């Protein structure tokens, strides 16, 4: 399915993405002719059954992998035209991540984890920016605690703070509440949507949670590697 309506400014564009991999049974198609455009500031849920291609699509959109054919444009940059180092630079300048398993650096405390991408980006005021967003996620009193000293919900709040710290053009979240209980997961998503509303960062969320998906501006549904629907919230 190809969905590329003219929505005005575009921060992320998938153009006829196809992804094939080799398997013992021969060539296996993971994604087939997927096209869509995303506007700045939108919140997008990517849904579908296991094996539909959601995580593969996220990896292509973020420049962590390259399509077999087709291309992804991030802030007008064709990621397929770049080598691995070039894509890494584009990610550093434009992309944030939040993962199901947190991916915090165990030897750094909460504040230092949030400071890390800012320091890698060369921000002169990394500590001040990190302190500000640590406060926004309600962890000022826990800023000196290490990941092993934090609860699952606190770890994910640190991960969200880190993801938003550099004010990326796009934040990719892969099942961000998957390791949390329902109550904690709900609070985490409230926080993520609040940060999305109050910033210019676009949120692209992979989730199995339908109640979470319907809170996004749009829901992209994948099935067997194809984009089968693109639904928008009522105006």
- Domain residue ranges of the chain, discontinuous segments joined by +: 12-232
pLDDT of residue 214: 87
Q: Which of 69, 80, 85, 79 is nearest to 34 (CA)?
A: 69
Mean pLDDT, consecutive 10-residue segments, the chain of 235 residues? Answer: 57 96 87 95 93 92 94 94 92 87 91 93 91 91 95 90 90 84 81 83 89 90 94 62
pLDDT of residue 25: 80
Class of domain 12-232: alpha beta
């Amino acid at each position: 399915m190809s969905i590329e309506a003219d929505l005005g400014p575009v921060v992320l564009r998938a153009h006829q993405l196809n992804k094939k991999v080799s398997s013992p049974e021969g060539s296996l198609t993971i994604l087939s002719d997927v096209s869509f455009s995303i506007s700045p500031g939108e919140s997008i849920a990517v849904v579908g059954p296991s094996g539909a291609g959601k995580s593969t699509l996220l990896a292509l959109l973020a420049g962590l992998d390259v399509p077999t054919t087709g291309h992804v444009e991030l802030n007008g940059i064709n990621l397929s035209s770049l080598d691995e180092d070039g894509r890494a630079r584009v990610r550093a300048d434009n992309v944030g991540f939040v993962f199901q398993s947190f991916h915090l650096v165990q030897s750094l405390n909460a504040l230092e984890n949030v400071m890390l991408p800012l320091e890698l980006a060369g921000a002169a005021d990394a500590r001040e920016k990190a302190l500000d967003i640590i406060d926004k996620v309600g962890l000022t009193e826990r800023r000196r605690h290490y990941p092993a000293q934090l609860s699952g919900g606190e770890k994910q709040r640190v991960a969200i703070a880190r993801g938003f710290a550099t004010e990326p053009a796009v934040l990719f979240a892969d099942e961000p509440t998957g390791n949390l209980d329902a109550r904690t997961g709900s609070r985490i998503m409230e926080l993520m949507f609040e940060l999305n509303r109050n910033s210019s960062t676009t949120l692209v969320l992979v989730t199995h949670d339908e109640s979470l998906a319907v809170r996004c501006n749009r829901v992209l549904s994948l099935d067997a590697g194809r984009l089968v629907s693109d639904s928008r919230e009522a105006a």
